[in-house]
Amino acid sequence: MKWMVRMQYSSWNTENRMGALSTKHFIKLEGAPKEDIQHLIDTGLMFREVLNRPIKKVPSLIGKNVVNLFFENSTRTRMSFELAEKRLSADVTNFSASSSSLNKGESFKDTIQNIHAMKMDCVVMRHPVPGSCHQLTKYVDAIVINAGDGKHEHPTQAMLDMMSLYEKFGYLKGLKVAIIGDISHSRVALSNIHGLITMGAEVTLCGPPHLIPIGIKELGVSVSHNVDEVVEWADALNILRIQRERMGVGLIPSVREYRDFFGITQERLDRHKKEIVIMHPGPMNRGVEIDSSVADGDQAIILDQVLNGVAVRMSILYSLLGPEEEGKDEKK
């Protein structure tokens, strides 16, 4: 299987940095400058403080209209975007494909053009088709934020993962991060790879050979098929879900065999007797890629990731839509 989902379009305008970020839209971390990633982490940490206050709301996006378009299921991303928008005082509209006129045969383009006519400032979209968020930028003037486009990227998830690592360790450069599991079907993996490599982290991918794309080492990562070696090496494990819905049939012989070879079990961690940070983007298959005792244990920062998801999405929305961004239409 070849690594197919590298998009050829431009999003980041590194030559012409304007305002908080060098991009109008937030579609991918491929090509994102280090300064922009660090800015989003630093601003996210500032918003994390706001989330600890008794009144968790700031007036930064008063008068801005944001629509959340979800064409695929989501718990964390959808809720945290909505919370982030409300914490910033934006006006929020939610669109769910399953209860829309798409079910009466309306096209994606017509749906989007109707939303465009309602004068939205920002569209947050999750869609099963890789490249759909980029396509959306052709149909609307609004700022577009990718909440996951098929197997391509999930850049806001990678931002919250990097913010969580930065919060825990205080640095990303030289940090040893292992991404374990089904890399081939994972937009979380691709966004994390781009972001972490840009920030100077060392990244090792670990999983069954047929779930790691040929050619992936070109992105600057190492590959291992031995999870015990990877646990011994890493400072942090980002454990991915086995995505049975994207796989078709037969890509893992059995759930039990996968757990034996690649599952992060308590027994496996105990064998290594070392400090290691456990991450998972969710949703988890407990007892498959991660044991409950690991997911709920002291080394796990999985629920910190969830809270940081709200903070970093506030950071992204504020950096793209906030007051200092007014009149910065020159960005690509």
Query: Where along the sequence are the contacts to ligand CP (CB under 6 A)?
Result: 74-78, 148, 154, 157, 281-283
Q: Closest-CB residue for ligand CP?
A: 77
Q: To the nearest whole angstrom, how small is the minimum distance from the Cβ of residue 237 to ligand CP?
A: 16
Residue 218: CB minimum distance to ligand CP, A: 26
| Cα–Cα dist 204/193, whole Å | 9
Whether the Cβ atoms of residue 89 and residue 60 lie closer than 8 Å to each other = yes
**Least CB distance to ligand CP at residue 173 (A):** 25
22 vs 308, beta carbon nearer ligand CP: 308
> How far is residue 27's CA from residue 177's CA, in Å, rounded to a whole number?
23
Contact 228, 284 (CB under 8 A): no
What minimum distance in Å lies between the beta carbon of 157 and ligand CP?
5
Q: How far lies 118's CA from each of 3, 26, 68, 138, 331, in Å?
A: 38, 21, 13, 16, 23
Quickly list H helices, 54-212.
76-87, 108-117, 132-139, 155-169, 187-198
Residue 251 CB, shortest distance to ligand CP, in Å, is 20
Contacts of 173 (CB under 8 A, 6+ apart): 199, 200, 201
Those residues with Cβ within 8 angstroms of residue 303's Cβ, 6 or more apart along the chain or in another chain? none
Closer to ligand CP by Cβ: residue 202 or 289: 289
Q: Which is nearer to ligand CP, 20 or 264 (CB)?
A: 264
Instruction: Tell me how far, at minimum, the Cβ of 77 lies from ligand CP, in Å.
Output: 3
Smallest gap from Cβ 238 to ligand CP, in A, equals: 11
If the CB atoms of residues 20 and 180 are measured against ligand CP, the closer one turns out to be 180
State which residue, 20 or 66, has the beta carbon closest to ligand CP: 66
60/50 Cα distance (integer angstroms): 12
Half-sphere exposure of 136 (CA within 13 A, CB side): 28
Half-sphere exposure of 115 (CA within 13 A, CB side): 35
Which residues have C-beta within 8 Å of that of residue 41, sequence separation ≥ 6?
159, 162, 163, 166, 312, 315
> Which of 149/325 has CB closer to ligand CP?
149
- Measured from the CB atom, the residue of 20 and 300 that comes closer to ligand CP is 300
